[in-house]
Amino acid sequence: MNKLVYYLLGMFLLTPSVWGIHINEVMYNPPGSDNNQEFVEIIGSDNLSGYTIGDLASNDSLELLKFVKGNFSLIVEESFNHTNINCSVYSVGSTIGNNLNNGEDTLFLYYDTALIDFMGYDGGLANGNGYSLELIDSVWKESCEIGGSPGQIYCKIINESFNESVNESINESGGDLKLEIIIPETLFLGVSYSSLFKITNLNHVSGREDFVLVRVKYNITKNNSLIKEDYFNKTINYYSSSNTGRLFFNETGNYTLCGIILNITESACKSFTVVNPLGIPCSIELNLSTDKDLYINKEKVKIKNIINNKSFPFIIEYWVEDLFGEEVKKRYNTSNTNQKTYTPKISEKDRVFLVKNRLVFVACNNSNTELENEKMIIIMKEKASLGVDDDSDSSISIDYVYLPWSNLLNFGSNFKVKLNIHKGDTTKSLINVYTEKNNKKISDDLRFYLNNKNSDYNLTVRVFIKPNCKDTFSDGDYTLVVEGLDKKAEEEIRIKGNKKGACNEEITKKLGKIKSFYTRNKKYSESISLYASLDIEETHEVELMSKKGNQKKLANNSESIKFAVEPEPGFNLFVLELKKEGKVIDTKTLFVKLEGEEEKKSLQERLFYEKDNQTREGINVTINQSLASITGTVVYESDNTKIIRYAPYLLTIVLTLIIIGLLLSKRR
């Protein structure tokens, strides 16, 4: 691993002046067919001569289609419609890389053989819903409008409204802000820095919630020559330092960083030195610990990554796997040693897991080669189970709440929530998602059904907050509630002010509404029917949106309409919009799971059985090797492990008895 890091850092030293060029926006799964619609936006240059783009499978050279002087370049598939995009455009042929994966993938940008930038995604954002992934304040977020903003910074909604929002926010706070530069005096090649400034609201009063919107312009100079100029936006309460700009260097030397808060002209400057970490000898040791060795099911495991020297930037990868090498907690990278957690969920009586970590990168010439660790933990059920979960084993958790670019939720807006739900052996199936305060709901109920018992569901749903047109609600903290299966999960969210135009939308809803939106299909087929019942008095436009594309129809008076769609096995999300004169006056969401055919299910079960048999052939070796590296001897075995370990002896006894029986029968 050290050789790889040194090789990459060495390539940075040979790279020409491409500092500041990076991947800024990605459309990896547009609605409908992906062909001719995927794109990658590069910020920092209008000329990508000598560059290549690639994913985990393959790399592509670039062919110039259109040159436009500026700060952006767009990499597209052939036949991509770039007519109204004002930037340089390059084609890679029929697909970008090996056709960007809709689930997860990684993109790499090279100059010659030097790696300039890379980014990865896991399918949790901008996956088939029409939005793109945009790098906003050094964080990958969904674009604020359908189609993204190829060829421009963020999206035009932000660009047009931001200055007005900054003025209003600063006026509310009194305009008393402090800007400090917090980077150290020595930085390293090959390391990305994203905490450059500390912004403090000097008018903040303890116990009061402030929402101060700040825009900072900053630049880097070397020998009085401008190297980079950029902006970032922050919403702060008292102070903030995370995601305040971005620095990355491929040349050593002395630099100066300057920043200014726009509109109030609060500024700061600092000089620093960039050095090559390969010339700095070090001996970095990585260790791993958990708060204990034995846990009860669903009890949090506290994980601590321990490093002996934190003066150099580092990246640690950590994960949890079972004794067969299957990851039960996905691999994560961290650049700090803050405590991490993992919550196990098992249906067996007991299980053994291995917590692992490794030092992926450190910004020095590390002489220590022991860079990986593992720790065994034992998980036990609180009470015995016969292999079938009962109703108490159902669980609901809120994994993540996706906030908008401003980190603020407004009345009349909507947001997405990532859920993790386990349904045990219960006949109940209804799940309800809503937002409330003091038992008063401020959002529409989002209801859906989970039919399969003893199943895990990982879902992302959208919650619609009601507009506050008559000042019925107050700004502040509200509770997001997910309940069902006799379980409930809650998380606090903050809501302030009305979304622009929300009350106008509320008025237009009087012009009509969608009374119902449903399907009668429960089984998967290549085509299913969706039905909607409308309450309207004039001609309206009805638009159905799905992963496979959009359909539009005209509806006259109150009537029922029907759509034919091509779904996928499993979960499907459909959104229906009722429009009048181009304005959306009502929206309904349909979330449905379609069960596959029994023949497919039987095939999957047979393949699983064959795979299971193949796995069991090497079980003894896997277990013994895994445990030997930790303890030297087997200190604990679950019941199923004991059976497997003694299986050869039992088989020997059975064969012996069969042979004895045959001999006795011959004598007779």
pLDDT tens digits for range 225-271:
888 888 888 888 888 888 888 888 888 999 999 998 876 778 899 99
69 backbone dihedrals φ, ψ, rounded to 5°: -65, 135
Report the C-alpha gap between 462 and 151 in whole angstroms.
Answer: 28
Residue 129, C-beta contacts closer than 8 angstroms, at least 6 positions apart: 31, 142
Q: What is the 3-class SS of 555-590, one letter each residue?
A: ECCCCEEEEEECCCCEEEEEEEEEEECCEEEEEEEE
pLDDT of 388 higher than 80? no
Between residues 15 and 276, the one the model is more confident about = 276
When pLDDT is cut at 50, 70 and 90, the band that residue 642 belongs to is very low
Give the rounded percent of residues in the chain with a pLDDT score beyond 90. 16
Q: Centre a 10 Å sphere on the Cβ of residue 29 and count the other Cβ atoms it contains.
A: 24
Give yes or no for residue 9 having a pLDDT over 50. Answer: no
DSSP-assigned letter for residue 207: T
Question: What's the pLDDT at 651?
Answer: 63
Comparison of pLDDT for 170 and 469, the residue scoring more: 469
- Residue 285 scores a pLDDT above 90: yes
Helix-strand-coil split of the chain, %, nearest 5: 15, 45, 40
| CATH placement of domain 280-380 | 2.60.40.1930
More confident residue, 476 or 154: 476
Strand partners, 261: 216, 266
pLDDT band with cut points at 50, 70 and 90 for residue 405: low
Task: Tell me: pLDDT of 320 over 80.
Answer: yes
pLDDT tens for 292-303 read 999 999 899 999
Question: Which of 491, 488, 461 shows the shortest CA–CA distance to 593?
Answer: 461
- 214: Cβ–Cβ under 8 A, 6 or more apart, which residues? 166, 169, 170, 177, 199, 233, 234, 235, 236, 261
Q: For 140-190, write each residue's pLDDT tens digit.
A: 888 877 888 888 876 544 444 444 444 555 445 445 889 999 999 988 887
**Range 79-93 average pLDDT:** 88
407/417: higher pLDDT: 417
- Does residue 497 surpass a pLDDT of 70? yes
Mean pLDDT of 659-665: 71
- Whether this prediction's pTM lies above 0.75 is answered by no
State the DSSP code for 510: G
Question: Between residues 38 and 450, which one has the greater pLDDT?
Answer: 38
pLDDT at 10: 42
What string of DSSP letters covers 108-126?
Answer: EEEETTEEEEEEEE-SSSS
pLDDT reported for residue 454: 78
pLDDT value of position 650: 62
* 132 close to 27: Cβ distance less than 8 angstroms: yes
Higher pLDDT, 103 or 87: 87
pLDDT of residue 666: 59
Give me the residue spans of the domains in the chain. Answer: 2-151, 159-278, 280-380, 388-406+423-498, 501-596, 615-667
Predicted pLDDT of residue 502 = 66
d(CA 261, CA 7): 39
Alpha-carbon gap, residue 391 to 398, rounded angstroms:
19
- Mean of the pLDDT values across residues 93-103? 82
Between 599 and 577, name the one with better pLDDT: 577
Fold match, 280-380 / 501-596: yes
pLDDT of 501 reads 67
Among 307-311, 326-330, 404-408, the range scoring the smallest mean pLDDT is: 404-408
Q: Does domain 159-278 have CATH number 3.30.365.10?
A: no
Top pLDDT among 16 and 283 is at: 283
Contact criterion met (CB below 8 Å) for 515 and 560: no
CATH code of the domain occupying 501-596: 2.60.40.2550
pLDDT of residue 137: 67
What is the spatial distance between Cα 191 and Cα 247, in angstroms, rounded to a whole number? 8
Tokens of 352: 């053994």
Q: Of 191-200, 314-323, 421-430, which range is least confident? A: 421-430
Mean pLDDT of 205-214: 78
**Are 570 and 588 contacting, i.e. CB atoms less than 8 angstroms apart?**
no
Report the mean per-residue pLDDT for the chain.
77
**504 contacts 484 by C-beta, under 8 angstroms:** no
Q: Residue 160 has what pLDDT?
A: 43
φ, ψ for residue 149, nearest 5 deg = -140, 60
pLDDT attached to residue 654: 66
Q: Residue with structure tokens 């995009």?
A: 85
